[in-house]
Structure 1
Amino acid sequence: MMLIFGLMLLLQTAACLDRFCSFNQSDPCYTALGYKLTLLMVLDTSEYDLKIHKRINNDIDDPVCRVKHGTMRMTECDLYNNRPEVTVINGILIINRVIRADSGIYRLILTDHSWTTVTSGDLQVIVEAPIGSVEVSIICSSSGVMRVFCSSEGDQLLYSWTLNGDPLMDGNSSIDLDERTDGNISCSVKNHVSHAQKTIRLKPCPGANTATVTSSVTSAVTSSTQTSECVSVVFVLVWCFQLMVLLGLLGAFHIYMRHTSGEKQEDQKVRKRRFREGHEHTAEDS
């Protein structure tokens, strides 16, 4: 089971920038720029003609693609013209390399053989550039502040920081620390389609007095420190309880073995005494 879970996680990680969306989902479809988008239109491809309408001005001039049932190929399209990386296979629209222009609101209309509209639905597609490499830099100011900067390429970036594994209460691309701060600081960057992280080693700024404890980050990591301490106490208590149970079992086993050994020795003594008495009676009779 663990092997299967690991393989599934590995496959998911390897293909994390390729996106799968469906027209029946209520949330927007976030897709990565330059990567693959698989868009489910309909499961049963034998009953309907499909029309994909990109809503721009909501008029007849908006681009449309039509897919004929049976062949399930785009028979008429002014939306994906001259793009061989766009295909339709069994009711699934596949864009092997997403571009910025693929963003927008799409309406899927299904019609039956009598040209009657069966159903329609809208889907918002949002293209985001994935996270690039993350860079972290440090500047020591003359006012006793260590300012740490984080930068990366990508769209709609969200930042988070940790110091020695404890989260810092700051979501900006830069953070101010005391000049005496020492340890490992990590900057995590994410958006809807990807995430990345960079960890560097902090050292006190030149000339800083390292004898005092960093105060600017104490309040930010208090809750995490308390949580870690609680987890540690629970772990120690559980470990002690398990040790007590183990020692109790060993003590009971030792007592049982001594009792059993004592009974065997007593039984051997009784047998020897009976054996001697038997020999003595035999000798008297003779």
Structure 2
Amino acid sequence: MATVVGLLVMLLGISHGVKPYCDGRQDGAQCYGALGGTVVLQLMDGAAENSTYIWSIRTQRIFTWTGKGVFGNVIGNRSSFTPSNGTFIINNLNRLDGGNHTLQIFDSNGAKSEQRSLQLTIQVVETYCDGRQDGAQCYGALGGTVVLQLMDGAAENSIYIWSIRTQRIFTWTGKGVFGNVIGNRSSFTPSNGAIIINNLNRLDGGNYTLQIFDSNGAKSEQRSLQLTIQAPVSSVWLVSKCLSQGEMRVSCSSEGGDSPQYSWTLGGRKLNGAELLSGNNESKNITLKQNVSGTLVCSVNNHVSRVFAEKMISTCGFIFIECISNGTYISQWVLKANNTLCIEPVTTEDHFLLIYGLQVAVAIILLSWAGAYIAWKKKTERSHVPWQTRY
């Protein structure tokens, strides 16, 4: 078998995904971002080097850009502006990032040529959990809101004590809620038996206990639930790399997110073993076979979020060749640009013709051998016949 001689090209591609995107090129655009997440704002097609751009929120200037670069970015530790494509990215969004943003554009003479605004709304992730069964497992998003269903409704002649670990959070009687230590960010609704906790932090996670006492003060029931606080996944991106034999190595990376889980689809369906050289549908890193192409999507999720990134992938410039060269049968993947093994790779049709030709050649050889054998046999038989009979 001949060897591939030539340059092996390494190709690298990156696809950014699921950072929420908003087109702010039209005045008055309405944009949204998730608390703690990332947003990509399309401010223009691209920044002109002879113009000046001032980006502000409410009355505060965020940054100024000229052809010499960005100046005075007050949130530079978590944002970036890309002049070539006119996008502004804000990471780790907080509530103060929400509001009316304004872009002012000045020409080379310092005259204002345009002004546009957009409204950015920061949304809070809200989760729901049914805690009416003892031992319920609940999840809440860091910085978000959780709704815990504790009962169908509170009875006026009963007393309810809600605690976390060893600390009492509040007591409810028919007269109302008393001593709520997180009252500034929580509320209890007796009519539907739900407690809402806003602006969740890590300390809100843990084992909660609900004790119910009847009108005589005797404990009639006690239930608990476990609340786990998870940071939501904020963004995902794909990195792909072609390997030496045309396989493609793809990595799925994410920002933020506790206990992320991964899943892959190709063209809207799950990846299968026939398309994978290594990894599986739940791996962070996979290796695809040489002939795999299409829209590849990596989804990353935990109990409070789900985001994804997609990338159109194609083969790495390799082709599968199959031919006979100098009497040697060749069948392998090679880099098309450097292929010297088979000048004209055998197509599927050629492959069948090749096999058919070989079969015909074998049949002709067999028939020739059979004809020669029959002639020899007859000659041998005749040699044993008496001379008088032969003539």
**TM-score, normalising length from structure 2?**
0.44
Which of 138, 143, 146 aligns to 1:34? It is 143
2:280 matches 1:176? no
Instruction: Please show how residues 220-235 of structure 1 align to structure 2 within 5 Å.
Output: none
CA deviation after TM superposition for structure 1 residue 142, in Å: 2.9
CA deviation after TM superposition for structure 1 residue 179, in Å: 4.2
Residues 201-250 of structure 1 show CA distances to partners (whole Å, capped at 9, x for unaligned) of 11222x422679x99xxxxxxxxxxxxxxxxxxxxxxxxxxxxxxxxxxx
Which one has the bigger helix percentage? Answer: 1
Instruction: Please show how residues 1-286 of structure 1 align to structure 2 within 5 Å.
Output: 17-25=125-133, 26-42=135-151, 43-55=153-165, 62-73=166-177, 75-77=178-180, 80-81=181-182, 84-90=184-190, 91-152=193-254, 153-169=256-272, 170=280, 171-205=282-316, 207-209=317-319
In 1, Cα distance between equivalents of 2:292 and 2:130: 48
Q: What secondary structure does 1:133 align onto?
A: strand
Change (3 A) 1:66 1:84: closer
Contact map agreement 2:130 2:149 (CA 8 A) in 1:
yes
CA deviation after TM superposition for structure 1 residue 186, in Å: 1.0
Change (3 A) 1:118 1:195: same
In 1, Cα distance between equivalents of 2:266 and 2:216: 65
**Aligned-partner residue type, residue 89 of structure 1:** T
Contact map agreement 2:246 2:315 (CA 8 A) in 1:
no
Equivalent residue number for residue 367 of structure 2: none
Residues 242-277 of structure 1 show CA distances to partners (whole Å, capped at 9, x for unaligned) of xxxxxxxxxxxxxxxxxxxxxxxxxxxxxxxxxxxx
Residues 50-93 of structure 1 show CA distances to partners (whole Å, capped at 9, x for unaligned) of 112223xxxxxx211231312331x235xx44x61122232432
In 2, Cα distance between equivalents of 1:137 and 1:179: 17
In 2, Cα distance between equivalents of 1:164 and 1:68: 54
In 2, Cα distance between equivalents of 1:196 and 1:65: 34
Contact map agreement 1:138 1:146 (CA 8 A) in 2:
yes
Q: What secondary structure does 2:173 align onto?
A: coil
**Aligned-partner residue type, residue 126 of structure 1:** T
In 2, Cα distance between equivalents of 1:88 and 1:107: 15
Change (3 A) 1:184 1:23: closer
**Aligned-partner residue type, residue 188 of structure 2:** V
**Aligned-partner residue type, residue 156 of structure 2:** S
Contact map agreement 2:293 2:313 (CA 8 A) in 1:
yes
Q: What secondary structure does 2:157 align onto?
A: coil
**Aligned-partner residue type, residue 186 of structure 2:** V
- Runs (4 or more) in structure 1 with deviation over 6 Å come to none
Q: Which deviates the most, 166-175 or 120-129?
A: 166-175
In 1, Cα distance between equivalents of 2:267 and 2:148: 42
In 2, Cα distance between equivalents of 1:95 and 1:135: 32
Equivalent residue number for residue 269 of structure 1: none
In 2, Cα distance between equivalents of 1:119 and 1:195: 37
In 2, Cα distance between equivalents of 1:201 and 1:210: 21
Contact map agreement 1:72 1:88 (CA 8 A) in 2:
no
In 2, Cα distance between equivalents of 1:193 and 1:144: 38
- Number of residue pairs aligned between Structure 1 and Structure 2: 189
Unaligned runs of 5+ in 1: 1-14, 56-61, 216-286
Percent identical across equivalent pairs?
30
Contact map agreement 2:237 2:253 (CA 8 A) in 1:
yes
Q: What secondary structure does 2:235 align onto?
A: coil
CA deviation after TM superposition for structure 1 residue 143, in Å: 4.8
**TM-score, normalising length from structure 1?**
0.59
In 2, Cα distance between equivalents of 1:211 and 1:97: 60
**Aligned-partner residue type, residue 115 of structure 1:** G
Q: What secondary structure does 1:181 align onto?
A: coil
Contact map agreement 1:130 1:191 (CA 8 A) in 2:
yes
Contact map agreement 2:207 2:224 (CA 8 A) in 1:
yes
Which one has the bigger strand percentage? Answer: 2
CA deviation after TM superposition for structure 1 residue 193, in Å: 2.0
In 2, Cα distance between equivalents of 1:150 and 1:72: 50
**Aligned-partner residue type, residue 173 of structure 2:** H
